[in-house]
Amino acid sequence: MKNFRITEEENQKFHQLAEEHQMKESVYFRFLISQKPKDYPEIVQLLKQLINEVNYIGHNINQIVKSIHSGYLGINDEKVLIAYMKKLNEEVKKAAEIIGNQ
């Protein structure tokens, strides 16, 4: 058995989180120290969606790069490439924010 000291504020927060997860505090504590990514299906799903989006955007970027190398780059291609890169950055940022708030 191991004892830990936490502030009253931390204790209240811990108690609240355990209740929100409908777990006894001891069970919730064991959950916290043993958790793995698979314990968060919503994060796994979010990452799968992000991977699919990145793959889609990557495919489109590759097509644009091929047209650049072929000498067929149009003004719209450059704008589309920039738009895809912005979209990619937005999706990654959104996922990071969601994961960070878990």
pLDDT in tens, 84-98: 888 888 888 888 777
pLDDT in tens, 20-33: 888 899 888 888 88
Residue 95 lies in a domain: yes
Residue 54 lies in a domain: yes
70 backbone dihedrals φ, ψ, rounded to 5°: -85, -5
Residue 92 and residue 73 share a domain: yes
**Residue 8 pLDDT grade (very low, low, confident, very high; cuts 50, 70, 90):** very high
What is the count of structural domains for the chain? Answer: 2
Residue 66 and residue 84 share a domain: yes
Q: What is the pLDDT of residue 102?
A: 54
Residue 61 and residue 22 share a domain: no
Dihedral sign for Cα atoms in the order 18, 21, 23, 29? negative
Confidence check: pLDDT of 10 > 70: yes
Residue 47 and residue 95 share a domain: yes
Residue 91 and residue 60 share a domain: yes
